[in-house]
Amino acid sequence: MTETLKMIEADGSAPSFNGALDDKALVYCYRTMLMVRAFDDICMKLQRSGRIGFSIPNKGVEATQVGAASALRSTDFFFPSYRDFGMALHHGAEPVEMMHNMFGNASDSARGRQMPVHFSFTKPLRFFSISSPIGTHLPQAVGAAFASQAQGKDDVSLASFGDGGTSSTGFHSALNMAGVWKAPVIFLCQNNGWAISLPSSGQTASDGYAIKAKAYGMPGVTVDGNDLLAVNRAVSEAAERARAGEGPTLIEAFTYRMGGHSTSDDPTKYVPAEELEKWAKKDPVLRMQRFLAQRGLWDEALEETLQAECAAEVAAAAKEAQATPGPTLETIFSDVYETLPNHLRRQGEQAFDLAARKGDADAGGGAFPL
């Protein structure tokens, strides 16, 4: 196994920090981590009270998400896993836009066609739709990177996935293609300890995941995923290689999911209590807090202000999203074809007629076809 990159010590000191992020950026990164926690907390309450159907906890992995996002441009291509809320938030996605997706309402960019947590944005960043099937987005990230390369642009793709994703066929195909083409893509494996209930010891016989890079002709890097500065540095260096035409990098970030796989999961059934307790002491938010305090950028007053701001913003987002009506019937047929095929036109007319007679759905108040 390669040496694990680490920058922030347990006491918050970071002797090797090179100032890659200025003070304003550091505080912004910390605020984004708190925003992820606030979003998580409210989504859990919404799900448990029956107002949304599903959510994915992010507690414990925020430094990997935000550290990676802080090393990239908003114009780069993000192909996220479903546990990457912080990447979108860091580059300007509004909590209310994300909350619209959680409710699947009429303002949801997917018009309710996706599960909750399946965010996608074209502005203010290029954040491709999260996909539930494991590993399918990795070849897509390579394709986007290869297209950018072919057009002479210096955009890079970030493909983020969990340790379980390394067992997918998409992982092999993507790394193989990226290595052959020297595509400007960064593969970020968030080794958070569990692929739902399967530990890493049951996932691979390799000495970690970064070592797999060697077989595909690219560098493999291991990084402390609870150390935002270390993740920023690892991704920054990988992006620099990619933009210079030197090809892809596989990064393995060691972190820990301090909650269930999803709101449908009970981690107490398989996570040893002592293991969770050990990782709780390595909480990435507390670690970043200690680092900021060492630099004179954090105090209790700032913490109280940031916590209150994040909680209020997410609460307001949830309130607005809950009050937004659901998608109308016409959205089944919109945003699919430029010119609607005749067989779908007939189905649409039948659906609108049924809705008008039975009152089972809102037809949208417009004549069909759109």
Catalytic residues, by residue number, are: 257, 261, 270
DSSP 225: T
Whole-angstrom distance, CA of residue 222 vs CA of residue 224? 7
The length of the chain is 370
Residue 149 corresponds to which tokens in the numbers above? 């390369």
Residue 46 corresponds to which tokens in the numbers above? 């919404």
CA 17, 21, 27, 33 dihedral sign is negative
What region, left, alpha or beta, does residue 16 occupy, with left being phi > 0 and alpha being psi -120 to 50 degrees? alpha
Whole-angstrom distance, CA of residue 253 vs CA of residue 208? 10
Whole-angstrom distance, CA of residue 325 vs CA of residue 233? 43
Residue 33 corresponds to which tokens in the numbers above? 């981590």
Helix (H, G, I), strand (E, B), or coil: what is residue 45?
helix
Whole-angstrom distance, CA of residue 67 vs CA of residue 60? 13
Residue 211 corresponds to which tokens in the numbers above? 């070592």
